């Protein structure tokens, strides 16, 4: 589809409300521990699984703190621009591979051309654990996922994401989406259509959504974020933060 000749627009986060300290994301205790609420798993569509309350508040705070570091330049947070030249309303920072609509690279070619930040090993582990928890250990073995890229999107008030496919990756491994902050409506259409009927999933802070198998290329988007619904203590800017982990299948 080509790329816009205009670059993205770098953005800067407002400082946190409370002093930041380094928070470790411990997979053995950070996902499920004593401060977690009830956990509910349901298959929304074939191979599309929603796990409510997947991340504990502590793990959510750790991810939010890490996001503030990822958002800093070089290769920091920006509004991407689609090939038509229109700016996307979401703000985005990438790890492992830089995604610029609609292609991957190892450098932030639409802003400062700096090397993309590496994908932390614990975040890749988080993706593998997500697939196993969504599909079950046995089924996850038939849908392995070894994440090498993350797209982290900040939906400020009024931001949305149109229906699209995750189609730039040669890999057919499942896609993992973790939601923080404000509640959103996550909309699913079909693999071969972006029109109705739709299946809407309400994602709250700490929820997990995994889609793979026959629905790996399903059209999906975020038509609405419900402002003011985030839990206290995340120290995120107003809005929703999504962490999408993918195995690209790319080399180089």
pLDDT digits (tens, 9 = 90+) for 23-40: 566 544 455 544 445 679
CATH label of the domain that carries residue 129: 2.60.120.590
Specify if 168 maps to a domain.
yes
What does the pLDDT read at residue 35? 47
CB crowding 21-58: b at 16 or more within 10 Å, else e? eeeebeeeebbbeeebeeeeeeebbebbbbbbbbbbbb
Q: What's the whole-number average pLDDT of the chain?
A: 91
Predicted pLDDT at 14: 87
pLDDT-based confidence at residue 163 (cuts at 50, 70, 90): very high
Q: Is the pLDDT of residue 20 over 70?
A: no
Is residue 96, in this structure, part of any structural domain at all? Answer: yes
The alpha carbon dihedral of 251, 150, 48, 81 has a sign of negative
Bridge pairing between strands 40-45 and 149-155: unpaired
* Residue 118 maps to a domain: yes
β-strand partners of 211: 48, 175
- The pLDDT assigned to 223 comes to 98
Q: Are 60 and 36 in contact (CB under 8 A)?
A: no
- In contact, 207 and 50? CB cutoff 8 Å: yes
Mean per-residue pLDDT for 64-83? 96
pLDDT, average across residues 84-101: 96
Range of the domain at 232: 39-246
Do residues 205 and 237 lie in contact, with contact meaning Cβ atoms separated by under 8 Å? no
Residue 76 lies in a domain: yes
Residue 153 pLDDT grade (very low, low, confident, very high; cuts 50, 70, 90): very high
pLDDT of residue 28: 44
What pLDDT does residue 221 have?
98
Assign residue 85 a region (left: φ > 0; alpha: ψ between -120 and 50; beta: otherwise).
left
Residue that wins the pLDDT comparison between 120 and 142: 120
Which of 144, 143, 203, 211 shows the shortest CA–CA distance to 179? Answer: 203
CB 59 within 8 A of CB 126: no
Nearest 5°: the CA angle 104, 153, 128 is: 70
Q: What is the pLDDT of residue 31?
A: 58
| Domain membership flag for residue 148 | yes
Tokens 């939010």, residue located: 64
How far apart, in whole angstroms, are the C-alpha atoms of residue 9 and residue 111? 7
**Rounded to whole angstroms, how far apart are CA atoms 185 and 67?**
22
The domain tally of the chain equals: 1
Residue 103 is predicted with a pLDDT of 93
User: Within a domain: residue 142?
Assistant: yes
Decide if 33 is inside a domain.
no
Residue 233 domain flag: yes
Alpha-carbon distance 75 to 71, whole Å? Answer: 8
pLDDT of residue 34: 43
Which letter does DSSP use for residue 163 in this model?
E
């Amino acid at each position: 589809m080509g790329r816009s000749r205009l670059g993205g627009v770098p953005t800067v986060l407002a400082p946190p409300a409370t002093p930041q300290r380094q928070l470790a994301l411990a997979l053995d205790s950070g996902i499920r521990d004593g401060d977690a609420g009830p956990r509910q798993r349901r298959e929304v569509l074939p191979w599309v699984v929603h796990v409510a309350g997947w991340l504990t508040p502590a793990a959510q705070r750790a991810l939010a703190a890490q996001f503030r570091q990822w958002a800093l330049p070089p290769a920091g947070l920006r509004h991407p621009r689609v090939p038509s030249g229109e700016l996307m309303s979401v703000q985005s920072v990438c790890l492992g591979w830089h995604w610029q609509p609609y292609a991957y690279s190892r450098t932030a070619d639409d802003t400062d051309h700096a090397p993309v930040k590496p994908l932390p090993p614990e975040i890749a582990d988080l993706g593998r654990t997500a697939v196993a928890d969504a599909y079950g250990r046995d089924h996850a073995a038939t849908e392995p996922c070894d994440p090498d890229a993350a797209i982290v999107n900040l939906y400020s008030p009024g931001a949305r994401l149109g229906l699209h496919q995750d189609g730039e990756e040669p890999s057919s491994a499942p896609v993992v989406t973790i939601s923080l902050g404000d509640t959103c409506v996550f909309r699913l259409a079909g693999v071969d259509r972006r029109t109705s009927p739709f299946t809407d999933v309400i994602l709250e802070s700490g929820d997990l959504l995994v889609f793979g198998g026959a629905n790996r290329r399903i059209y999906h988007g975020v038509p609405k974020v419900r402002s003011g619904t985030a839990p206290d203590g995340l120290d995120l800017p107003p809005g929703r933060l999504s962490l999408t982990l993918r195995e690209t299948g790319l080399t180089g």
